[in-house]
């Protein structure tokens, strides 16, 4: 279940926020109107959990602004991070489709704004809208490739390649259409996602920048050659 304090801060979406939600563009008529009315927007503070392991799903979530991470706690008290969730991303559709408890935690890495579509409205769209089903099929297919790539990154011994691979994933235009050309992320946040220290991430970013693959800008990273960055990550 969504953190109660986050739920209590929820409000209807503004027109600008609705225009930034990619899957609304495939809907029309009554389906579009129902979804727009049902959507809720809420702020999440750093460290707040939007989804908790073992809790039943109540919303389909998306990121309007900020950065979240998907992770699990280990028996030894550590954390396994599966992926970062940047602006434009919607996640957890598989859990909602199966109506099973979450098998992961979703936590805000910084102050963020999240959107939520109630689970019953999600299933109503599944029952009625062919365009919505096609959108979800594309999402699930893309996410499968995303997790296969994540396994490959985890097996990389070279920190530079791990950072490159993580950046490639975060610049996925299908899963994360809100990122665009500039990913707003700190070196510390990238370190959390990759499992490296901020200092080692800094070295890797400078290596990639030195080869012209990325540009390091104030408050973020800009990819200059995504194809070459992808090749670098699997070398």
Q: How confident is the model at residue 172 (pLDDT cuts 50, 70, 90)?
A: confident
| Rounded mean pLDDT, 152-159 | 73
Residue 108 confidence (pLDDT): 94
- The answer on 172 and 139 residing in a single domain is no
Task: Among 96, 116, 145, identify where a domain stops.
Answer: 145
In tens, the pLDDT along 108-144 reads 999 999 999 999 999 999 999 999 999 999 999 888 8
Whether the pLDDT of residue 182 is over 80: the answer is yes
Whether the pLDDT of residue 230 is over 70: the answer is yes
- The answer on 189 and 103 residing in a single domain is no
Residue 31 confidence (pLDDT): 96
- The answer on 112 and 74 residing in a single domain is yes
* Degrees, nearest 5: CA angle 33-37-42: 140
What distance in Å separates the CA atoms of residue 111 and residue 48, rounded to the nearest whole number? 9
- The answer on 60 and 100 residing in a single domain is yes
Task: Among 145, 173, 204, identify where a domain stops.
Answer: 145
Q: Taking the model in full, what pTM does it have?
A: 0.83
59 found inside a domain:
yes
Whether the pLDDT of residue 2 is over 70: the answer is no
- The answer on 169 and 129 residing in a single domain is no
- Residue 22, domain CATH: 2.60.120.10
151 found inside a domain:
no
150 found inside a domain:
no
Q: How confident is the model at residue 176 (pLDDT cuts 50, 70, 90)?
A: confident
Residue 209 confidence (pLDDT): 94
- The answer on 216 and 126 residing in a single domain is no
152 found inside a domain:
no
- The answer on 135 and 24 residing in a single domain is yes
Q: How confident is the model at residue 155 (pLDDT cuts 50, 70, 90)?
A: low
Residue 102 confidence (pLDDT): 94
Greater confidence, 4 or 10? 10
- The answer on 210 and 135 residing in a single domain is no
95 found inside a domain:
yes
Whether the pLDDT of residue 177 is over 90: the answer is no
Greater confidence, 180 or 190? 190
Q: Which domain does 40 fall in, by range?
A: 4-145
Q: How confident is the model at residue 1 (pLDDT cuts 50, 70, 90)?
A: very low
Q: How confident is the model at residue 104 (pLDDT cuts 50, 70, 90)?
A: very high
Task: Among 90, 122, 145, identify where a domain stops.
Answer: 145
- The answer on 229 and 198 residing in a single domain is yes
Residue 135 confidence (pLDDT): 95
Whether the pLDDT of residue 30 is over 50: the answer is yes
72 found inside a domain:
yes
127 found inside a domain:
yes
15 found inside a domain:
yes
- The answer on 170 and 141 residing in a single domain is no
List, as one string, the DSSP characters of the chain: ---HHHHHT-EEPPHHHHHT-GGGGG--HHHHHHHHHH-EEEEE-TT-EEE-TTPPP-EEEEEEES-EEEEEE-TTS-EEEEEEE-TT-EE-HHHHHHT---SSEEEESSSEEEEEEEHHHHHHHHHH-HHHHHHHHHHHHHHHHHHHHHHHHHT---HHHHHHHHHHHHT-TTT-TT-TTEE---HHHHHHHHT--HHHHHHHHHHHHHTTSEEEETTEEEES-HHHHHHHHT-
Question: How many domains does the chain contain in total?
Answer: 2
- The answer on 116 and 24 residing in a single domain is yes
Residue 154 confidence (pLDDT): 66
- The answer on 98 and 24 residing in a single domain is yes
Identify whether the C-beta of residue 81 lies closer than 8 Å to the C-beta of residue 62: no
- Residue 213, domain CATH: 1.10.10.10
């Amino acid at each position: 279940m969504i953190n109660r304090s986050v739920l209590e801060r929820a409000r209807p979406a503004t027109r600008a926020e609705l225009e930034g939600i990619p899957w609304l563009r495939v809907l029309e008529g009554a389906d579009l109107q129902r979804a727009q009315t049902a959507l809720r927007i809420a702020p999440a503070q750093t460290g707040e959990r939007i989804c908790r392991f073992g809790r039943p799903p109540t919303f389909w979530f998306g990121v309007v602004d900020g950065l979240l991470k998907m992770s699990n706690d280990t028996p030894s008290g550590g954390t396994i991070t599966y992926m970062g969730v940047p602006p434009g991303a919607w996640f957890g559709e598989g859990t909602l489709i199966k109506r099973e408890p979450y098998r992961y935690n979703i936590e805000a890495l910084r102050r963020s704004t999240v959107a939520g579509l109630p689970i019953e409205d999600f299933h109503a769209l599944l029952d009625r809208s062919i365009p919505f089903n096609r959108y979800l099929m594309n999402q699930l297919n893309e996410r499968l490739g995303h997790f296969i790539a994540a396994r490959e990154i985890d097996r990389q011994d070279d920190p530079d390649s791990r950072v490159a691979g993580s950046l490639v994933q975060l610049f996925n235009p299908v899963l994360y259409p809100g990122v665009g050309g500039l990913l707003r992320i700190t070196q510390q946040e990238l370190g959390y996602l990759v499992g490296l220290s901020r200092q080692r991430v800094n070295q890797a970013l400078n290596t990639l920048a030195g080869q012209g693959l990325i540009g390091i800008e104030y408050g973020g990273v800009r990819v200059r050659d995504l194809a070459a960055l992808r090749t670098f990550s699997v070398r």
